């Protein structure tokens, strides 16, 4: 048996040397070759030295200290045999073998540092020749025969169909457990079934314990299908041309002109908690009079009262004569969504009306807008504008001044937020953010901020609106 083992281990090496030297040089065979006599033959099993790298042991550890070797050079080990114990800065780990073979080199001595990903020791293992179709007296022990009509493997490193690469020890475990090796996922090089694969398949060890050989991972990456190329699309057929008309066409012209004006922006926060209470108290009475009372009439009346103190915001700019045209009437425009698109009609003479009258006029505009029955007079002679974007959502905005007007306000969504009261206690408050935009050619920041403060004062103390109610 010892002679047969040496024949299998060294016969191919001597044969290769003989072929390379052409037989012209005669060398004395090594002592272990004496047992061969003249029984040299080539075999598909070749000697190969494999470096066993220290794998990642987790937790970001990059280096360990070798504390003890359980093997020495010349020892023959099998898979899962203990090789050594290493010590990290967190724990001790026992390193086990993933190969069957002979130890030929230890890269580190005890108490030396070993790096993760670097060689730990070298194995002399049996390596199947790339061409598994060669005849061998031991092929029946190493492989499950494929059908006679199966074609030989055409690509090096691939396992022919119907064959399973495995060692006798692995086959013995499979036979004892009546296991078909063709059903066991292989993780060894060239598709070899390892002992760990069988134990994992039999659920003796946890799934995922055995890591695939790097060559298998690389081959899987190479076999990834290339992303399919999408079918070219005729861009002309995938596009739809819709000519603008009506409100959309008018908006193109108005916004183009408006954005020629230099804009100044200013934002502030308004506590409308008291306004919420007042409106809640008045909406039932307004409903009995057939009027839907929203917050917008309060916003319009507060703006009108503040415009009395800052009339330049209720003006227009004559660019040709470089003059400002002040207007005593407050026709405040209100942006509203209709089936035809966003329109901005105005409530006439807000300064002369009560909150209930403003609400009634606003309801009438909304009804006509929903029916598409707004008239040119509903849009004419606007002097100031408010846009309540908060009914849709959003907190801040940057509205565009509608020329020839010189200012506009954008109202954000009212939210309940924690605030401090006069006693320093945290209380829930209804907070709304207003975003003002003005024509910076004639409106400066102080004017806009002063107007905003006064408008805010009316809303935070809605009873003040009643003092000047008409």
- Active site residue ranges: 440, 444
Bridge-based pairing of strands 407-411 and 384-387 is parallel
> DSSP 3-state assignment of 59?
coil
Phi and psi (nearest 5°) for 368?
A: -65, -35
Nearest to 198 by CA among 163, 221, 165: 165
Phi and psi (nearest 5°) for 420?
A: -90, 135
Nearest to 108 by CA among 50, 51, 47: 51
HSE, CB side, 13 Å, CA atoms: give it for residue 255.
Answer: 11
Bridge-based pairing of strands 346-347 and 101-106 is unpaired
User: Which residues, listed in sequence order, are joined to residue 429 by a DSSP beta bridge?
Assistant: 417
Asked if residues 332 and 347 have their Cβ atoms less than 8 Å apart, the reply is yes
Compute the distance between CA of residue 325 and CA of residue 322 in angstroms, rounded to an integer. Answer: 10
Compute the distance between CA of residue 208 and CA of residue 185 in angstroms, rounded to an integer. Answer: 11
How is residue 390 annotated by DSSP? G
Q: Which two tokens stand for residue 106?
A: 């230890």
Count of beta carbons in the 10 Å neighbourhood of residue 389: 17
Count of beta carbons in the 10 Å neighbourhood of residue 220: 10
Compute the distance between CA of residue 91 and CA of residue 120 in angstroms, rounded to an integer. Answer: 18
Nearest to 300 by CA among 286, 314, 290, 280: 314
Peptide bond into 404 cis (omega under 30): yes
Asked if residues 99 and 125 have their Cβ atoms less than 8 Å apart, the reply is yes
């Amino acid at each position: 048996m010892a002679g047969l083992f040496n024949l299998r281990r060294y016969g191919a090496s001597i044969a290769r040397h003989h072929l390379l030297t052409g037989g012209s040089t005669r060398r004395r065979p090594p002592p272990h070759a004496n047992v061969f006599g003249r029984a040299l033959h080539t075999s598909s099993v070749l000697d190969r030295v494999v470096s066993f790298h220290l794998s990642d042991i987790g937790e970001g550890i990059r280096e360990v200290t070798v504390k003890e070797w359980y093997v020495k050079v010349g020892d023959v080990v099998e898979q899962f045999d203990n090789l050594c114990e290493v010590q990290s800065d967190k724990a001790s780990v026992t390193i086990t073998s993933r190969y069957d073979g002979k130890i030929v080199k230890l890269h580190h001595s005890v108490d030396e540092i070993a790096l993760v990903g670097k060689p730990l020791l070298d194995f002399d293992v049996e390596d199947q020749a790339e061409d598994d179709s060669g005849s061998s007296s031991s092929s029946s022990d190493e492989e499950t025969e494929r059908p006679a009509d199966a074609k030989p493997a055409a690509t090096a490193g691939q396992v022919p169909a119907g064959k399973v690469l495995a060692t006798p020890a692995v086959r013995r475990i499979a036979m004892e457990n009546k296991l078909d090796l063709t059903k066991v996922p292989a993780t060894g090089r060239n598709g070899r079934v390892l002992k760990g694969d069988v134990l994992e398949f039999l659920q003796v060890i946890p799934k995922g314990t055995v890591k695939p050989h790097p060559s298998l991972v690389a081959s899987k990456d190479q076999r990834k299908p290339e992303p399919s190329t999408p079918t070219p699309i005729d861009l002309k057929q995938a596009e739809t041309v819709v000519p603008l008309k009506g409100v959309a066409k008018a908006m193109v012209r108005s916004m183009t002109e408006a954005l020629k004006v230099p804009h100044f922006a200013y934002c502030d926060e308004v506590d409308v908690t008291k306004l919420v209470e007042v409106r809640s108290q008045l909406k039932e009475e307004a409903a009995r009079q057939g009027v839907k009372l929203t917050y917008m009439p309060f916003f319009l009346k507060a703006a009108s009262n503040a415009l009395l103190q800052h009339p330049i915001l209720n003006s227009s700019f004559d660019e040709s004569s470089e003059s400002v045209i002040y207007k005593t009437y407050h026709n405040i425009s209100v942006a509203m969504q209709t089936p035809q698109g966003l329109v901005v009609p105005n409530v006439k003479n807000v300064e002369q009306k009560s909150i209930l009258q403003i609400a009634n006029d606003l309801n009438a505009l909304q009804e006509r807008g929903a029916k598409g029955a707004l008239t040119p007079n509903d849009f004419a002679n606007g002097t100031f504008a408010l846009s309540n974007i908060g009914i849709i959502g959003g907190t801040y905005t940057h509205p565009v001044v509608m020329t020839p007007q010189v200012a506009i306000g954008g109202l954000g969504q009212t939210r309940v937020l924690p605030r401090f009261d006069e006693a320093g206690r945290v209380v829930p408050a209804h907070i709304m953010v207003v975003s003002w935009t003005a024509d910076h050619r004639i409106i400066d920041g102080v004017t806009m901020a002063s107007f905003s403060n006064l408008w805010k004062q009316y809303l935070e103390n809605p009873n003040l609106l009643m003092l000047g109610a008409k």
